[in-house]
Chain A
Amino acid sequence: MSGNNYQLVCGLEIHSELKTKSKMFCACKNDPFAAGKPNIHTCPVCLGMPGGLPLANKKAIEWTIKIGLALNCQINLFSKFDRKNYFYPDLPKGYQISQHDIPFCHDGFLDTSQGRVRIQRIHLEEDTAKLIHQNNYTLIDFNRSGVPLVEIVTETDIKNAQQAKEYAQKLRQILRYLDVADCDMEKGGMRLEANISLKKKTDPDGFLPNYKVECKNINSFRFMEMAINYEMERQAKLLDQGQTPKQETRGFSAESGKTFSQRAKEEAEDYRYFPDPDLPPIEFEPAEIAQIKQELVELPDQYAARLSEEHQLSLDLAQRLVKNKKRAEFFEQLLILAKREKIESKKIINTLLNKKIDYHLSDDPKNTIEEYKKLNELEEMSPEIITELIKELLQENQDVVEKYQSGKTEVLAFLIGQSMKKIAKKVDVNLVKKVLLDQLNN
């Protein structure tokens, strides 16, 4: 059997730090990347010292629900925090406060160009401290300990690496639109994890293979794409040889472009979850959820659809304008002004996208419109001079003229271009075309 007899079975688990002012369970500043010095944003709570008690950050809970609503999720009106017990030097309490069986959000979806990706759950937890490995010792920076962290888990709906990348990029775009996360991949503000296995193409829908490979801590979309593609190849080879790939956690090396085994995971880990007795359950009224929903900003897909409709742009073109919120707002302002000035929307957008005008999202769109108008202003030149110059041109290019006259009319475009060059001034191209045709048809 060869590689293309297999179908990818893949779900993503994406962690994103929320950019609340304070940490998830204490009043410490949530600023792990710009802190400057290690262990300055710490207190007995996020250091896990005896007697420290967690207090849940309301903003972080509200933002998690906001993310859930943006991703079409159901919201649990009753929810709670649980303790996930395991030992690791970056986890000072010996347990992570997370959510086990009642996450804030569940059963949502995000549409990609290759179909719908269902979202199983979104829960809120605390980030761990950061380990800095030196030659023969390890340092711990607790600035990150207790930073609010959402985990967004999909169903196994991802069909290929390209779709995984698109999903993750769209998710980041939405989180940024909601203004709840910076999603700085390089610093670890957003972390990607792909669960990858293969089934036979003949296996029915919803069939799950009896093994799963987790690729963890991938810090770029491109690397995730590469990791999935690499795994598909590696696993197909093993399956062809009649083997089942090992259930394990694998990392991805950017240097080799390959995944590598990190940890065998033959049995499911036992985290001994139980409700955190330090945190009372959280209950919402339906009206509170409705309020959060009402405050949701326009999301990129909706934004693009509206721009496309209001300004007669193709949906593809409109999509390119809404990559981020600042950009979308700049272009919308610009389009509104253009409409007023009777400038064709598609034309000005193409001019900008083709970088014929230098623009910045921080510019006043009014100035951009002025520049566009200047660019398109025609220079004065009498039709007589134009006719003279064209005549000259045609004499210099007798061979082309002959081609045209023998029926190869497609050379006209070449002649228009040459004429504009010879004229060397911004004149009305329609006038040039008219004179040229007159001369050619004479």
Chain B
Amino acid sequence: MPVAFKILVVDDEPDLEPLVLQRMRRRIRSGQYSFVFAHNGVEALEVLRQEEDIDMVISDINMPQMDGLTLLEQIPKVDPNVRSIIISAYGDMKNIRTAMNRGAFDFVTKPLDFDDLQITIDRTLAHLVEWRDALSSRDRLVSLENELNVASKIQQSILPTEFPLENDFAAFASMEPAKEVGGDFYDVIYLGQERVGVAIADVSDKGVPAALFMMSSRTLLKGSAIGKYEPGEVLKEVNDLLCEGNEAMMFVTLLYAVYDRTTGKLTYANGGHCTPYVRRADGSIIALPLTGGMALGILDGQDYHQDTFDLLPGDTVFLYSDGVSEAMNREGEEFGLERMAQVLAENTTEDPRAVNEAMFEAVRAFAGDTPQSDDITCLTLCRREKA
């Protein structure tokens, strides 16, 4: 049997209580309704505070201490989802209108017609049930699915879809977005004929605000990268701009590197992101040293150090997000950096797309049916042996 709707009846007339209990006895006995009583507005608010499961209030207007119209104003402050019916004198349109303006759902008139009251109660409760359904599905939809949907669309819209494939170098990036959490992005920025900038980033948190933060990070990065060739300066500028008015304390870990095609030099600065790996042509693996930078958006006025690494023909640099290294299997083990390095060492190809695919495959095989909890993102750049 469903739980009875709990109805609070507020009237200073002592006769009303036994009358209600008598006339509504069938509904009470069948478990559809239960009643509680109060004799003025102050008492009613007290009862509402104490008994959190009250569904609706039926209240008289003229009462001592606090009248019904004042009570109507106070009810939403205690529980915005309670529905109210007001009992007014017949034809008292002025009070009825005030009551409706103050959020009453309906009214009944004196002398009370209990058949009419029952219909009015049923209709009010039916509305309440629908309202609650709508509320819960709105909560589910808007706050989770819908919001994450919007966020994921924003994320997809900023990711580049075309990548350089030249005789001397090639780059490729791809992402396996997580269903629920996501905040990775990447970019490939062309800086004239000789240089190309590559970036990989991970925004804290999820949902629309995080996605918007991601969008501004990406736009600021692109704007700054086009004007400057020093990754450290780029990060410093982007960080200062992101720090402005960042009350929500969102932040982004961002690794930005500039590859010089004529020299093979890779200059990189790291704002709190996981460190890149290099696979040399001979299959050996090097983790590039951290440059000690803080994630962006937290503290302004900071300098970001940069470092360089000379990529030789046949070398590959691999940027990734922690979704790769922290992917988990059924036993709760992480994929880890060692496995990641192993996959890199085993795939001595000059095709960056093949490197990414091998990595995704290895992570998938490791994780099995364990749900993916974070975006998995890889960005690979190969300096190719000149044909």
On whether the two chains bind one another, the answer is no
